[in-house]
Structure 1
Amino acid sequence: MKKVVVIGAGAAGMMAAATAADRGLDVTLVEKNHRVGRKILITGKGRCNITNNCDIEELIENVPTNGKFLYSAFYTFTNEDVINMFESLGVKTKTERGNRVFPESDKAHDIANALHKQVIDKKVKLLLNTKVEEIIAKDKKIEKVILDNKKEIQCDAVIVATGGVSYPLTGSTGDGYKFAKKYGHTIIDPKPSLIGLEICESFVSELEKLSLRNIKIELYNGKNKKIYDDFGELEFTKYGIDGPVVKSASCMMKDLSKNTYKIVLDLKPALDEEKLDKRIQRDFQKYTNKAFKNSLDDLLPKKLIPVIIKLSGIDENTVVHQISREQRKALVHLLKNINLTVKRYRPIEEAIITSGGVKVGEINASTMESKLIDGLFFAGEVIDVDAYTGGFNLQIAFSTGYLAGYYC
């Protein structure tokens, strides 16, 4: 019977192990943590956005790094297949805004537990608290793996599903890169993706923990060319900005040591400047004899008001009816154009996803097998593919895990 070792019991690894076992193979799943699916438990703020219920072409469009490499994977094991798999495992799902698919329970551990139960039910040998030290190949063909307790497992195939280098406490510490490099694979330098951003402007620290909904951001490069925009939620932090729209924007930024970027924040995207001006005129009429600092409560969150006043250049004690038309127009423009200069990414350890990894040109896109070593397969985040938020990264894990498990 063909023997397979899967390294890493995250979404991709458990998917690969269950798929290989389904084919009647002898499968051993090795996980260095004390439990499976640790990263699954923190995805989607603990709710676990398992996939996105859009069409396949849209899935590919939402993978800015090497999306075309995933054609075969996405068409072989689709987002519909992911939903059906979890329904068959007893996890009911629901689709929310932006076609994001979650478990009905809103509990990520229901997803991790279902995948765990599936590998156990399919008679996969699961080794927890165990680390693979080395993969051994002879004559460019997989022969065995050596564990940290010096035990050897003879095998015909190895599936590397070790993740990237983000969230190292979940076990993603770059082990897969070491294995791949040993046998001649090129590693595209890992960098953070889906990460918060540090901002140069000092006022952001005054807004720490302020969350804004229904805002719009536009991302501009150093040549002042717009390269991305998004609508949704943003959160200010001690160091800058975070939240779904910021994480997605971070995917679009290339090397920050060589390139500069700014984000333009629109607090009122539902109103153009003319309509917003009329809205502010109504508020100013209501508070005509009040100080400027007491006139914005209907328009903005309390925490944001002092910062907007400071940026507007209007004295906070100016009586509202004394504010000129030019000052009011400048205020309108400010509310739709707050400039935030990107200083750097937050540390890669905080990133949801690692961008970079094993070069896709050295992997067979139809099978996930190495083009350099027979029997060596890759699945999930260890490969140089990454996507926006919205369930796309877990779909990558499930689809590539399925291919690796099916063809190993």
Structure 2
Amino acid sequence: MSKVLIIGGGAAGMMAAIAAAYNGNEVHIFEKNEKNGKKLFITGKGRCNITNASDIENHFANIMRNSKFLYSAYHCLDSYGVCTMIESAGVETKIERGNRVFPLSDKSSDVIYALNKMMRDIGVNIHLKSEIVSVSKENENIILKEKNGKKHIGDACIIATGGISYPVTGSTGDGYKFAEKIGHTITERYPSLVPFNIKEEFCKELQGLSLKNVELKIQDETGKQYYSEMGEMLFTHFGISGPLVLSASGHISDKLKEHQFIAKIDLKPALSNEALDKRILKDFEENINRNFNNSLDKLLPKNLIPVIVELSGINQYKKVHEITKEERENLVKLIKELKMSISGARGFNEAIITKGGVSVKDINPKNMESKIVPGIYFAGEVLDIDALTGGYNLQVAWSTGYLAGSSIY
């Protein structure tokens, strides 16, 4: 039996504590907040997207970096295993669009309660308001030091401190400092699953407008495409956000310094250019004596019409029967490809996850143990592993946490 010290009471830390305690270890978990799972509480807009009920291959396809590192972790605990564990603790789950798994109650607090209950039932010692400021190894002992000066000595330590996204939840990069001090490489970190800033001023005019069933493409200055997907998005006072945009950021947030990216929105992806032209002609025929700015009500959201009219270059007071074929073709192109220049991503305060972190090159993928300092393990977002939205990032936390904890005896 080992005395296991776990830093961080988030998803990875709590799962690691449960797994380590199941092995008969004496487990202590240290969380600097007043309660565990503070970031978990806000995931999935407070509903907690627990995982994704798809196969491992699909999970790996949605992991942006170092997916191969996770083979052992996922085979130790996959999405089915997570659901089984959560349900065994009394939380029923449901599967929604895109195989996203949520608690039936739609309450993230139920998931956190279940994890806390599992920890208590198996004898995990939970230390809240306990901020760890240093991690070191002396002889065969791992020594943690709290901010108040108190020391804790153990046989093994799992660092599950998260990244630096949503710092108000306590994710302030502590794990990177601990890892770097003992010799680990920390890769450059970027905010990911985050909204974009847009140069064009018209975004401010569209603030609050939500678009559904549109297609978003992201291309660089050479025309190379990095992302293309259909779904929902939202205009804000600074640019664009929403599910499509957050996923797109997962593909390019670490490349924004190297390239100039353009966002292209197809407002009518279900219609070809020819079909859209026919649709516009039909609307024009029904409004033959009206001004151009009063002819698009059936085609576009009300807030979007003035912007499209201005960008089209067609005089808003021009009668629709006077609009030329060339002007109409340009209008079709505009609706099928509304372009915006991405000036950057929002910061870590608005990012769901951190891209980058503790390099996996110096970590044993079979047990999450440091190759540099035996007895120290890593799990969760602190690692240089990030995924797209849909429950994939939480699954990385569950799997790496469980493997780390279950590897200690």
TM class, shorter-length = over 0.9
Shift, 1:174, TM fit: 0.3
Letter in 2 for 1:30: F
Letter in 2 for 1:346: R
For 1:268-315, what per-residue CA distance to the aligned partner results, in whole angstroms no more than 9, with x for missing partners? 111111111122122112222211111111111111111111111111
Match status 1:379 vs 2:374? no
For residue 187 of structure 2, give the secondary structure of its aligned residue in structure 1: strand
**CA–CA distance in 2 between the matches of 1:350 and 1:41?**
15
Letter in 2 for 1:173: T
The residue that corresponds to 2:226 in the other structure is 227
After the TM superposition, list the runs of 4 or more consecutive aligned residues in structure 1 that deviate by more than 3 angstroms.
Answer: none
The residue that corresponds to 1:49 in the other structure is 49
Q: Which runs of 5+ in 1 are unaligned?
A: none
The residue that corresponds to 1:177 in the other structure is 176
Contact 1:192 1:351 in 2 (8 A): yes
Shift, 1:138, TM fit: 2.3
Contact 1:4 1:26 in 2 (8 A): yes
Contact 2:11 2:37 in 1 (8 A): yes
Contact 2:18 2:118 in 1 (8 A): yes
For 1:36-66, what per-residue CA distance to the aligned partner results, in whole angstroms no more than 9, with x for missing partners? 1111111111111111111101101100111
Contact 2:284 2:295 in 1 (8 A): yes
The residue that corresponds to 1:278 in the other structure is 278
For residue 39 of structure 1, give the secondary structure of its aligned residue in structure 2: helix
For residue 330 of structure 1, give the secondary structure of its aligned residue in structure 2: helix
The residue that corresponds to 1:203 in the other structure is 202
For residue 195 of structure 1, give the secondary structure of its aligned residue in structure 2: coil
For residue 186 of structure 1, give the secondary structure of its aligned residue in structure 2: coil
Shift, 1:257, TM fit: 2.2
**CA–CA distance in 2 between the matches of 1:142 and 1:373?**
11
For residue 283 of structure 2, give the secondary structure of its aligned residue in structure 1: helix
The residue that corresponds to 1:125 in the other structure is 125
The residue that corresponds to 1:101 in the other structure is 101
The residue that corresponds to 1:192 in the other structure is 191
Contact 2:50 2:102 in 1 (8 A): yes
Contact 1:142 1:373 in 2 (8 A): no
The residue that corresponds to 2:257 in the other structure is 257
Residue pairs, 1:43-122, within 5 angstroms? 43-122=43-122
For 1:42-98, what per-residue CA distance to the aligned partner results, in whole angstroms no more than 9, with x for missing partners? 111111111111110110110011111112111221011111111111111111111
**CA–CA distance in 2 between the matches of 1:178 and 1:155?**
20
The residue that corresponds to 1:166 in the other structure is 165
Contact 1:42 1:108 in 2 (8 A): yes
The residue that corresponds to 2:397 in the other structure is 397
Contact 2:136 2:182 in 1 (8 A): no
For 1:182-238, what per-residue CA distance to the aligned partner results, in whole angstroms no more than 9, with x for missing partners? 110000011111010101111111111111111111111222111211111101111
**CA–CA distance in 2 between the matches of 1:77 and 1:245?**
29
For residue 222 of structure 2, give the secondary structure of its aligned residue in structure 1: coil
Match status 1:8 vs 2:8? yes
The residue that corresponds to 2:24 in the other structure is 24
Q: Give the TM-score taking structure 1 as reference length.
A: 0.98
Shift, 1:366, TM fit: 1.2
**CA–CA distance in 1 between the matches of 2:285 and 2:104?**
47
Shift, 1:106, TM fit: 1.4
Letter in 1 for 2:313: G
Match status 1:134 vs 2:134? yes
For residue 348 of structure 1, give the secondary structure of its aligned residue in structure 2: coil
Letter in 1 for 2:24: G
**CA–CA distance in 2 between the matches of 1:119 and 1:275?**
59
For residue 106 of structure 2, give the secondary structure of its aligned residue in structure 1: coil
The residue that corresponds to 1:360 in the other structure is 360
For residue 356 of structure 2, give the secondary structure of its aligned residue in structure 1: strand
Letter in 2 for 1:97: R
Contact 1:136 1:145 in 2 (8 A): yes
**CA–CA distance in 2 between the matches of 1:119 and 1:290?**
69
Contact 1:145 1:152 in 2 (8 A): yes
**CA–CA distance in 1 between the matches of 2:372 and 2:174?**
19
Aligned residues: 407
Shift, 1:142, TM fit: 4.3
Shift, 1:149, TM fit: 2.0
Letter in 1 for 2:99: N
Percent of aligned pairs with the same amino acid: 51
* RMSD across aligned positions (CA): 1.1
**CA–CA distance in 2 between the matches of 1:142 and 1:231?**
52
Letter in 2 for 1:213: K
Q: 1:270 to 1:144 in 2, by over 3 A?
A: same
**CA–CA distance in 1 between the matches of 2:269 and 2:116?**
44
**CA–CA distance in 2 between the matches of 1:77 and 1:280?**
53
| Structure 1 stretch displaced more, 313-322 or 154-163 | 313-322
For residue 98 of structure 1, give the secondary structure of its aligned residue in structure 2: helix
Contact 1:142 1:376 in 2 (8 A): no
Shift, 1:9, TM fit: 0.5
Contact 1:142 1:374 in 2 (8 A): no
Q: Which runs of 5+ in 2 are unaligned?
A: none
Letter in 2 for 1:230: E
Letter in 1 for 2:147: D
The residue that corresponds to 1:316 in the other structure is 316
The residue that corresponds to 1:334 in the other structure is 334
**CA–CA distance in 1 between the matches of 2:141 and 2:346?**
38
Letter in 2 for 1:167: Y
| Structure 1 stretch displaced more, 18-27 or 285-294 | 285-294
